[in-house]
Structure 1
């Protein structure tokens, strides 16, 4: 259990001090001149300049590409149990201040650095909290974190889904299972804007559901009421259910996983739309080309692909992928159809994504109007001094 007292110092290279002073919460390995003291992964360290001036305090992991995650710029603040409790309480108060939960019992309570708790994601699904822990420091806090969440929210249980790539990069082994209280059932039922969804918190993507798209689903609903709607990269079919409520006669859910398509059918059925969705298993790039060759047409298309650019090196290929899939969608839309399109690649800026859509429209020989810009839900706040916290961007486009 961390005691909150620094066990060492991390000396920053002179040319990299500005980033710390500008309150960026990550200190990259290239910014570190030296680590002093017998520090272990997860220890508290002070971040200082070459002349010894105190700059910040955070958690260290010498094995990581981000060896220090800064948690405070206040020299009098200890990173101890009280700090953890206060951060959780403050995150909960911010959600209530933002009107969350509002027409939903599924939301993000803790969004890592954006809630000043680096290394922790905590998502609420009805009576359960699902956490992702991806730094050695928060690994040490694991049991106390679950205890505090039980005390703060009174859920039936706290469940862990620490099985994603960031954890591996921190040299931590993946782990899935209950931490505190009851284990969740195979399917957790949540409510969102009057609709119900079944969530697989044991095996689903992320923590089970795309909470970051909650507000985008509602905002997109009026554009998805056409006769025929394609929901590509559909996952468990949440956009399809909103489209059906809006009045769509038929929605095709397209995904590579037969398992999630079955869950998408269940999600349609529990909302009274059994038989109104068609499940299509396959690669979206290939299937959309087949649709194009067959002369298929749609009134609306949703594109919510997985992250194409996990690193800067993959951005050029990602942009080609985004252009290709949007070009195909524009070709498949009837004149006056709507394209609701997203990128969740943090390395791809909104400006880059808009440029991709422009190039796709040129090649598709379609006139395209942007009618709405979309971002991540407000329970995934964007910290101004941490641009990396903004990753989801989207557009609603009218394709003429």
Structure 2
């Protein structure tokens, strides 16, 4: 669930097709007979500990069925509930339901989606864009649903859940009253499932651009070709947090379309929004005008180089945000990512005025919270300054992180104050 690289700021091209509405009530078959997935003791223990995944190596008997839903049993015949079945995936099973007597039928999908959507009701008071379903975090493995106004954007990231597209779309329509549903099925994870990567309209109409209202700030999301499903929704509360503390001269590193910068500009005297992409900075300028803000200065350049140059010039900032793309996309890239995170945070610390505040974050799943704070500790030591920890942040309400399913969590942040 890591966020993609935002360094280029350039939208990718996708094949697109506009589809018609699905059947009014698709009929989904469930396995009631002898065809089951039998897992070994290791797989069974993993399920009993609350993790929904069973890997290919732990499936002793594979069902002779296409992707969909299957019953799961241990090798001794003990029932383990129901799971999504992906024949080609390394993650062969993703458990949906532990109760073997409750089939994954129409009512199950309706109730589970309804519960996930109900959890987000408080968010609608301050924003019109947020996540409705966060995969495993909501008991709906490999399914992502984001809301942008009256439109929904879904990602069906496994063959098992993809087989239920029609039913999912039907219930989302009923439960949300949306006017359009777009499938952003372009992540690389779908290739590992034997599925095509595509962007496809599933229902109604979804505009190319949607205005997002977030705690009084307006910006544009691009559901068809923007990053992730159109915008970065996971930092919403963190943008509000640092925006409420902003003052003086502020700096937004890796600004992309300026979501942090917009919140900073509400209280800061001046905001420098740094990004390597000229098209991204053009959107920053557009967003500033949309909010009636004249104190945001887009700065094109590599954040590492820009911050070093400004340190040599003796510049200082009272408020700084460091929200880089995921430097560690794989475990093998972790060492290099640690160096990158430390470097950019060290440069930011050098630029922070006494009494100033720095919000820094990492969206790399492979960089654990422990490693994140180890990195910050090393950067503080190298800066030769004192920093107080003011807050530790994680994922918002609409991106639930389950304690026993670490894959549901990736975002971590820290608010630091430069002590005089």
TM class by shorter chain equals over 0.9
Distance 1:336 1:179 in 2: 51
For the pair 1:272 / 2:297, whether they are aligned, the reply is: no
Cα RMSD after superposing both structures: 1.8
Q: Give the equivalent residue in structure 2 for 1:20.
A: 47
- Partner of 1:254: helix, strand, or coil? strand
Q: Give the equivalent residue in structure 2 for 1:303.
A: 322
Give the CA deviation at 1:345: 1.3
For residue 148 of structure 2, the aligned residue among 125, 128, 139 is 125
Q: Relative CO higher for 1 or 2, CA cutoff 8 Å, sep ≥ 6?
A: 2
Report if the CA contact (8 A) 2:210-2:220 is conserved. yes
Report if the CA contact (8 A) 1:8-1:44 is conserved. no
Q: Give the equivalent residue in structure 1 for 2:63.
A: 37
For residue 262 of structure 2, the aligned residue among 234, 237, 241 is 241
- Answer with 248-257 or 5-14: which moved more: 5-14
Distance 1:312 1:64 in 2: 20
Distance 1:169 1:335 in 2: 49
Q: Give the equivalent residue in structure 2 for 1:150.
A: 173
Report if the CA contact (8 A) 1:106-1:123 is conserved. yes
Q: Give the equivalent residue in structure 1 for 2:128.
A: 105
Q: Give the equivalent residue in structure 2 for 1:397.
A: 416
TM-score by length of structure 1 reads 0.93
User: Unaligned 5+ residue runs, structure 2?
Assistant: 1-26
- Partner of 2:120: helix, strand, or coil? helix
Distance 2:351 2:358 in 1: 10
Give the CA deviation at 1:124: 0.8
Report if the CA contact (8 A) 1:368-1:397 is conserved. yes
Report if the CA contact (8 A) 1:59-1:69 is conserved. yes
Give the CA deviation at 1:263: 1.4
Q: Give the equivalent residue in structure 2 for 1:59.
A: 84
Q: Give the equivalent residue in structure 2 for 1:68.
A: 93
Query: For the structure 1 residues 256 and 163, does the alpha-carbon distance in structure 2 shift closer, same or farther, using more than 3 Å as the test?
Result: farther
Give the CA deviation at 1:206: 0.8
Aligned length: 392
What is the CA deviation profile of residues 206-233 of structure 1, one whole-angstrom value per residue up to 9, with x for unaligned ones? 111111111111111132222x211111
For residue 177 of structure 1, the aligned residue among 175, 200, 214 is 200
For residue 194 of structure 1, the aligned residue among 200, 216, 220 is 216
- Partner of 2:417: helix, strand, or coil? strand
What is the CA deviation profile of residues 171-211 of structure 1, one whole-angstrom value per residue up to 9, with x for unaligned ones? 32211132101231x32112111221111112211111111
Give the CA deviation at 1:16: 4.1
Give the CA deviation at 1:396: 0.6
What is the CA deviation profile of residues 315-372 of structure 1, one whole-angstrom value per residue up to 9, with x for unaligned ones? 2222222111111111121222211000111222222211110001101111111101
- Partner of 2:381: helix, strand, or coil? helix
- Partner of 1:286: helix, strand, or coil? helix
TM-score by length of structure 2 reads 0.89
Give the CA deviation at 1:122: 0.7
Distance 1:356 1:312 in 2: 16
Report if the CA contact (8 A) 1:147-1:180 is conserved. no
- Partner of 1:290: helix, strand, or coil? helix
User: Unaligned 5+ residue runs, structure 1?
Assistant: none
For residue 210 of structure 1, the aligned residue among 229, 232, 238 is 232
**Counterparts of 1:273-352 in structure 2 under 5 Å?**
273-274=293-294, 276-352=295-371
